[in-house]
Each structure stands twice: as structure tokens, then as C-alpha cells.
């Protein structure tokens, strides 16, 4: 066997909840002989291992298992379903409801004990498991904090059930339920992220028509095969036209809003839509190597390049947990040395644990995130997960796609130019009659109510229409159909009307207009100190004609868009991008935070971190402002939680706080954090 041969292995890893989990999995995998490099992505739940060909997949899976997590080959991994977890959460809230009511309505202590114990050791079991794995690896994480704090509150409450005293069951239940709710939402976002690549396949037909009349699966096509493409069909693979002319809608892959004529020798990309002509194509990119496949790989690579999620609370926990345990043990020991009774020393040690219970610390992040995402949802802004909020809060520039994002993406008739003796109104009516039953997007912009359709209408693929109106034959189409017309200027696209065999009578200019909030959005972003960039696959003239105060990069292919985003991030920018098309999907995934218009392509929405449910550029401004507001609230909560612990822990250790007062103070700190976060409920997009 060639010992120098290398291989790449990808595993699906389950059970990770924080950045420290990622570190432990990577550390355990690197210990496997033959492994040279490991990259674990928390967002996708995958581990990518590079090493010698002799590396055994089973050994890798066993290494992950010993570190406290699960692993399986990607092909064998079963997608996790959220239904079971949703039911568990619903059951948890139902169990906790009577305990919460005990604060205003008498509930027997034994009933509270039974309900709280079910939540503590059923729904809280995952925190014990994760916490033990972290402690075995010599570190601390959020699981340790939750297990430690809730156990202290639960244990002290159990003692008081029998010895008499205040009960703190509601604190342990609230922490477990809120943290699990946050994890549930995060896991759902991870599952949805994988559908971005799968959505590309909806643009590819299953069957292709060979030139000899045989229908074959697209997967069987090879370079050099010739296929027939009929009107209304999507291009199955990359190819070159060898016969025929037609208009194609290339907006899903190029960003060009208007259909373009294509003839012999033109290159066609998989996923584009043939509108009106029959074409014969020579396959240049077989299945697996065409445009859609490249886009899928770009999205997967860009998602894999996203930075590992760094949860601030886990970093704090790495120091906070051992310190609190040490202080509790030291408190117990010192009180015993000073002659205190065992019960008194234990009570003071438990007071330290109760006062240090990470209720406020554990609530600060999920409360702010839940309040922020809830406020966003009310205003038509959907954040995929907490990391999307954090990334949006740090953005220093916003990159807009043009077509379908800043503009409507639908061509509209801008004006009519008379080129002969015919009046503009009459030319408009004739054009409407010719376009009445045509499916071309430009024809839709020409229709008028009450105008009778022309007779003997004939589609001239790639050029336009021929038809008869009131006994006269007319032509309507591009400059290739109506010779001798003036060259188009500016950002508009033109169609021309002529009587058959005669000179041009009129020209019709079509433009893709700005969305109503586009100018206000750019102005607001500049006011907020962000740089604004327009990145489009369209012509520079069309982009400049919009008159927006933004930098412009035109003629950008999907690959170029991705390169631009990577270059900007490489230069130190935190880049937010807004797009709506498939051609934007890879760039959206590569941006620090991607925002997709809700009316755009599914693949763009799935690849993005934020979905804007209304096609309004101002929502992008609102998303960034809400993210910054949420970050401020989160930091405020963390500050007060830590400030409370820094002040209260020494007081508890010195015996100045009994457990009942400690519990009350703990509850008060949690209420302060929650109240601060709930202010976000009143946020409104401008």
C-alpha cells in the first residue's frame, strides 16, 4: 500500500453545543494516528479530517465517542427531527407551569418537588452529560454552568422541603427550559441550512431530449452529446447552441432582469429558461460538472468557511465554573476550621452555589436573542440563529445585489419614442395587440386592457413577433428584427415596431425600476456609517442609471461575486450582503452575514443568515439596527449578571447572605436581565 496516499473523511458529529465542544472534538480526532488536519464546523455539525490513507473511519468515530459526542459517516447519518424535541419542550413547560404559579398561588411543596425533579433529571439530563464530558476534558462550558446552577437551586429546595424554608424550584426549571428552547431553535436552523444546496436541483430537469428523439436521464449525458431544448424548458446542462435561435431568461443565474436573444455558438448555462424557440445544444458540461453543480459546491464551501461559533458565556464558564467550585469548597473548609457546625458550614457553601447559580448569566444571552428575534419576526425580519444576530451587529458595510433586490426585477415600459409618422398612442395600441397573447416578459409590459389580440401572430425566436392588426402586417422585436433603428442608449432595453417591409415606426424603452425604499435604505446606511456597494451581473450602464449613491461592481458572475465578498472580508471588513437570486447564493453564504429577500429564490433564502419577508431594502437597514440593539441588550445583561456575582459571592462566602436571601437576590438579578431584554419587544423597523 502507498503509505504517502492521502484521503479526506467527513463525519457528522452530534451533541456539540458550544465552541469548547468543537475544541474537544478536534483534539480527540488529532490524537488518531495518521490524522494531519481537522476542521470541525459547529454550524453544520460536520468534522472534516485530512490524513493518511491508512486512517480508519471507525477509529475516528470511536475517538469522537470517547470525547463524549456522537459521530457517523455523512451518508449514514440520519437527519435529526425537531418534532420530538418540540414535544419535550411543550411537556417541560406544562410541568413547570404549576411551579411558576406557586409564586402567586399556594402549591404543595411535595408537588413542586415532583414536577421540578422531572424537569431537572429528564430535560436537564443533556446538561449533566455535556457538563461531565467537559469536566473530563479539563474545561467548563454552558452545560456545566446550567447543571451546576440548577442542581444547587434544586438541591437546596429539596433540603427546604423537609427542613423548612424558601423553595427555588422555579429558577432551575426556567433555566433548563429557556436554554433547551434556544438549542432547539439552533438545531432547526442547522437542518435547514443543508437545504440550500438541495434547492439547486429544482432548476434541473430530470430528463433530456437527445437529438435522435430519445429521452434519457440527465445524469447519462456526456460532453459532446447533442440535445434538443424546447420552449418553456430549462437547460439541463451547460451547452453550446449548434442550431436555432431563442430568447432565454437567464435571471436565475446571471442577475440580468431582461430576457436575452441567443443563437448559434452561444453558451448556455444549466438552469436558464428557454422562452420561445427550439434549440439544438452540444453538451459542454456533463452532469456533475455544470453550472448548478459548481454553485452547489460554492455554497457548501462558503458555508464551511464560516467561523466557528464562539459563545461568550462558554468562555466565561471556562474560568467561572472552577472558581465557583473552589470558592464553595474553600467556604466550607474555612467555616469548619473556624469551629462552625457542619450544617452551618454546608449552608454557607450552598449559599455560594445558589448565589453563583448562573440564572442571570444563563438568561442574558437567550433572553436577548429570543427578544431580538421575536421583534424581528414581528417586523418581517427572520434571523436564522443567534450567530446571525451577532454577525449583523458587527457589519461595517452592506453589499446589495441589484436585480430583484434594489429593483423590482420586472421590466416595465418606460416610454415610447416615435420614429416615423405614426402617433405614439397608435403605435402603443398596435404593440399591445401583437403582445396580447405572447408569454415573453416584455410582452407582458406592453399589454393594454381592452385591446383586441392581433391575428396570425407568429413568434420569431430570439427576435420578436410578427402579426396582423386591422389587415396590416407588423413586426415587433429587437434591432435584429427591425433594421435601421438608432443604437440604444442608457440603461434601458429597447423593442421596435415596424410595418413589415417598411421602416421603424416606434421604439419602446423598458427599464427595471428601483423598489420604493431603495434610495432611503442607501441613505440610512450611509448615515449609520456603513459603506454601500452594489454588486450586479447586469451592465454598468443599467446600474448607473439607477442614480444611487453607492459603489458599483457590474458584470459580476456568481464566482466573481463570491471572490469580491472574500476579498472584502480578507481586507478586514465585516460584510453584510442582500440578494435574492440563485446567482447570489454562494456570495450570501460567504458574507459575514447574508440577507435574502423573502420574494427571491429559495436557494438564496436557504443560503442566507437572515430572510427579509417583504421585498423592501429598508428591512435590511432594520435588520442591522435591530442586531446592534440586541447586542447592546445582551452585553448589558451579561454585565449585570457578572457584576451581581462579583459582589454577591464574597458576601455569601462570609456568611452575610443566607440561602433564602441568596435565592431572592438570584431571582431579582434574573428579573432585571429579563426585563432589560423584554424592552426589545417594542422595537419597530423604521
β-partners of residue 47 are 11, 40
Grid coordinates of 506: 416606434
User: Can you state the angle between helices 312-337 and 359-378, rounded to 10 degrees?
Assistant: 160
The DSSP 8-state label assigned to residue 582 in this structure reads G
| Whole-number Å distance between alpha carbons of 221 and 287 | 7
Residue 50 forms beta bridges with which residues?
A: 8, 37
How far is 494 from 151, CA to CA, in rounded Å? Answer: 73
Max Cα separation, the chain? 115
> Which among 308, 245, 255 has a CA at the least distance from the CA of 278?
245
Distance CA 666, CA 664 (A): 5
Q: How many residues does the chain have?
A: 686
DSSP string spanning 430-499?
HHHHHHTT--SHHHHHH--TTPPPPEEEEEETTTEEEEEETTEEEEEE-TTTSTTPPPP-TT-EEEEEEE
Query: Is residue 401 flagged as an active site residue?
Result: yes
CB atoms under 10 Å from CB of 351, counted, come to 29
Residue 274 in 3-state DSSP? Answer: strand
Three-class secondary structure of residue 681 per DSSP: helix
- In whole angstroms, give the CA distance from residue 204 to residue 233: 10
Tally Cβ neighbours within 10 Å of residue 438: 22
**Residue tagged active-site, from 249, 293, 401, 512:** 401
- Region of residue 115 (phi > 0: left; psi between -120 and 50: alpha; otherwise: beta): alpha
Q: What are the distances in angstroms from CA 305 to CA 118, 296, 392, 407?
A: 41, 14, 17, 30
- Residue 543's nearest CA partner among 532, 535, 409, 515 is 535
b/e map 22-36, b = 16+ CB within 10 Å: bbbbbebbeebebbe
Rg (Cα) of the chain, in Å, rounded?
32
Q: How far apart are CA 352 and CA 234, in angstroms?
A: 67
Structural contact between residues 193 and 44, judged by C-beta atoms closer than 8 angstroms? yes
Q: If we measure between CA atoms, which residue out of 312, 309, 381 comes closest to residue 624? A: 381
SS3 600: coil
Give catalytic residue positions.
Answer: 401
Amino acid at each position: 500500500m502507498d503509505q504517502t496516499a492521502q484521503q479526506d473523511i467527513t463525519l457528522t458529529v452530534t451533541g456539540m453545543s458550544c465552541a469548547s465542544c468543537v475544541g474537544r472534538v478536534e483534539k480527540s480526532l488529532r490524537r488518531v494516528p495518521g490524522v494531519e488536519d481537522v476542521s470541525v464546523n459547529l454550524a453544520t455539525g460536520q468534522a472534516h479530517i485530512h490524513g493518511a490513507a491508512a486512517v480508519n473511519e471507525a477509529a475516528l468515530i470511536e475517538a469522537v465517542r470517547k470525547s463524549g459526542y456522537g459521530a457517523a459517516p455523512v451518508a449514514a447519518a440520519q437527519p435529526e427531527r425537531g418534532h420530538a424535541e418540540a414535544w419535550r419542550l411543550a411537556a417541560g413547560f406544562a410541568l413547570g407551569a404549576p411551579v411558576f404559579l406557586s409564586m402567586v398561588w399556594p402549591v404543595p411543596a411535595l408537588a413542586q418537588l415532583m414536577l421540578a425533579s422531572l424537569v431537572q433529571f429528564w430535560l436537564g439530563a443533556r446538561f449533566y452529560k455535556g457538563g461531565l464530558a467537559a469536566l473530563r476534558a479539563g474545561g467548563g462550558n454552558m452545560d456545566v454552568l446550567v447543571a451546576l446552577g440548577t442542581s444547587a437551586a434544586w438541591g437546596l429546595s429539596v433540603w427546604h422541603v423537609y427542613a423548612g424554608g424558601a423553595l427555588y424550584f422555579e429558577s432551575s426549571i426556567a433555566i433548563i427550559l429557556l436554554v433547551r428552547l434556544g438549542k432547539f431553535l439552533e438545531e432547526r436552523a442547522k437542518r435547514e441550512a443543508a437545504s440550500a444546496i438541495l434547492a439547486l436541483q429544482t432548476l434541473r430537469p430530470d430528463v433530456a431530449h437527445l437529438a435522435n428523439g430519445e429521452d434519457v436521464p440527465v445524469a447519462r449525458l456526456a460532453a459532446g452529446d447533442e440535445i434538443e431544448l424546447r420552449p418553456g424548458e430549462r437547460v439541463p446542462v451547460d451547452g453550446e447552441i449548434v442550431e436555432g435561435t431563442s430568447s432565454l431568461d437567464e435571471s436565475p443565474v446571471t442577475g440580468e432582469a431582461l430576457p436575452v436573444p441567443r443563437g448559434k455558438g452561444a453558451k448556455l448555462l444549466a438552469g436558464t429558461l428557454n422562452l420561445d424557440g427550439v434549440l439544438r445544444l452540444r453538451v459542454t458540461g456533463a452532469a456533475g460538472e455544470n453550472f448548478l453543480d459548481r454553485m452547489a459546491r460554492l455554497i457548501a464551501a462558503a458555508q464551511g468557511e464560516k467561523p466557528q461559533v464562539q459563545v461568550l458565556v462558554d468562555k466565561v464558564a471556562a474560568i467561572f465554573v472552577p472558581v465557583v467550585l473552589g470558592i464553595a469548597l474553600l467556604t466550607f473548609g474555612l467555616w469548619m476550621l473556624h469551629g462552625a457546625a457542619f450544617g452551618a458550614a454546608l449552608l454557607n457553601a450552598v449559599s455560594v452555589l445558589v448565589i453563583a447559580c448562573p440564572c442571570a448569566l444563563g438568561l442574558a444571552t437567550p433572553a436577548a436573542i429570543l427578544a431580538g428575534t421575536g421583534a424581528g419576526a414581528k417586523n418581517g425580519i427572520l434571523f436564522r440563529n443567534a450567530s446571525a444576530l451577532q454577525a449583523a451587529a458587527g457589519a461595517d458595510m452592506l453589499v446589495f445585489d441589484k436585480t430583484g433586490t434594489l429593483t423590482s426585477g420586472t421590466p416595465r415600459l418606460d416610454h415610447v419614442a416615435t420614429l416615423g409618422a405614426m402617433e405614439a398612442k397608435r403605435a402603443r395600441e398596435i404593440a399591445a395587440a401583437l403582445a396580447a397573447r405572447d408569454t415573453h416578459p416584455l410582452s407582458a409590459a406592453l399589454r393594454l386592457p381592452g385591446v383586441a389580440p392581433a391575428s396570425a401572430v407568429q413568434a420569431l425566436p430570439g427576435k420578436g413577433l410578427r402579426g396582423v392588426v386591422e389587415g396590416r402586417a407588423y413586426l415587433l422585436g429587437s434591432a435584429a428584427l427591425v433594421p435601421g433603428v438608432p443604437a440604444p442608449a442608457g440603461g434601458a432595453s429597447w423593442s421596435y415596431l415596424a410595418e413589415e417591409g417598411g421602416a421603424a415606426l416606434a421604439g419602446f424603452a423598458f427599464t427595471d425600476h428601483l423598489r420604493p425604499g431603495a434610495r432611503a435604505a442607501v441613505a440610512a446606511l450611509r448615515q449609520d456609517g456603513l459603506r454601500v456597494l452594489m454588486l450586479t451581473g447586469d451592465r454598468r450602464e443599467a446600474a448607473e442609471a439607477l442614480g444611487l449613491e453607492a459603489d458599483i461592481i457590474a458584470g459580476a458572475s456568481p464566482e466573481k461575486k463570491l471572490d469580491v465578498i472574500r476579498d472584502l472580508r480578507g481586507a478586514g471588513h465585516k460584510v453584510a450582503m442582500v440578494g435574492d437570486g440563485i446567482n447570489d447564493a454562494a456570495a450570501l453564504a460567504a458574507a459575514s452575514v447574508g440577507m435574502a429577500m423573502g420574494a427571491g429564490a429559495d436557494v438564496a433564502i436557504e443560503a442566507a443568515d437572515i430572510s427579509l419577508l417583504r421585498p423592501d431594502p429598508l428591512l435590511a437597514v432594520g435588520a442591522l439596527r435591530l442586531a446592534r440593539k440586541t447586542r447592546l441588550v445582551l452585553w448589558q445583561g451579561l454585565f449585570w449578571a457578572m457584576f451581581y456575582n462579583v459582589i454577591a459571592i464574597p458576601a455569601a462566602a462570609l456568611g452575610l447572605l443566607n440561602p433564602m436571601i441568596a435565592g431572592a437576590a438570584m431571582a431579582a438579578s434574573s428579573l432585571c436581565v429579563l426585563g432589560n431584554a423584554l424592552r426589545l419587544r417594542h422595537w419597530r423597523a423604521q
